[in-house]
Amino acid sequence: MSRVFGFVYGVACYLFFFAVFLYLIAFIADIPVAGWVPQTVTHGAPAGGFSAAIMNIFWLSLFCLQHSVMARAGFKTWIERWVPRHVERSTYVLASSLVLALAMWQWQPIEGRVWQFEGVLAHYVLWGLFAFGWVLIFVATFLTDHFDLFGLRQVYLHLARKTYSHVEFKTVFLYKWVRHPMMLGLLIAFWATPVMTLSHLLFSIVMSIYVFIGIHFEERGLLRVLGQDYAEWRSKTPMVLPF
């Protein structure tokens, strides 16, 4: 794979991820936009019942499985037999985006409502929390290394003929209060809504469970790589809630 092609591939994977990420925000916010967001967590397809819930769980589980398995060191070693190391992260980002897009495309709404706040103040507060969750996610990616996380740094360094080095472990800003601010942002975004439908509830439950499963496996990997430094920081820093 040429250096230029690898760089273009990495940028294309990132742009596709970003488009899916924006769609995910509208999907969870339940904001259908003709021609742009035809399918949301509660709109866009005929409502279903128990069988729809099972299929929704299946598609989300497929995303969770792919997202976890491809992140493991053993899988990375295996896939590098066919995929150059400098585009391995971009390929992971592409695969995750494709499976998440598939899960949203195949989503079947479920009839029913769990809660609904009528007050204007409650709407402002909950939508504010929803927006804060996504901003928190975005900020957290830059506190580590946004471009390394999504594969851009790897393909750029290869294009520039520079040796790749792992991002230095730093506990700055949000990471002084919680170990996983990005996951905290996701949890807030999943649950902060003035109207919680059964469809939204199912999505939030499955993805919240996966957040904590993902944290477990991520921390196991970080302990192996970072050792005692990470163990000491983990022992004195809360997982997702700062208090």
Chain segment 107-128, per-residue pLDDT in tens: 999 999 999 999 999 999 999 9
**Cβ-based neighbour number of residue 75 at 10 Å:** 14
Summarised one tens digit per residue, pLDDT across range 122-150 is 999 999 999 999 999 999 999 989 999 99
**Average predicted confidence (pLDDT) for the chain:** 94
Backbone angles phi, psi at 114, to 5 degrees: -95, -50
- Say whether pLDDT at 232 is over 80: yes
- Say whether pLDDT at 225 is over 90: no
Alpha carbon distances (Å) from 71 to 27, 116, 123, 145, 235: 25, 38, 37, 17, 24
pLDDT, position 214: 93
> DSSP string of 153-206?
HHHHHHHTT----PPPP---GGGGT-S-HHHHHHHHHHH--SEEEHHHHHHHHH
pLDDT, position 31: 86
pTM equals 0.93
Helix or strand or coil: residue 113?
strand
Question: Which residues have C-beta within 8 Å of that of residue 242, sequence separation ≥ 6?
Answer: 177, 178
User: What is the rounded distance in angstroms from the CA atom of residue 37 to the CA atom of residue 208?
Assistant: 23
Residue 88 pLDDT level (bands cut at 50, 70, 90): very high
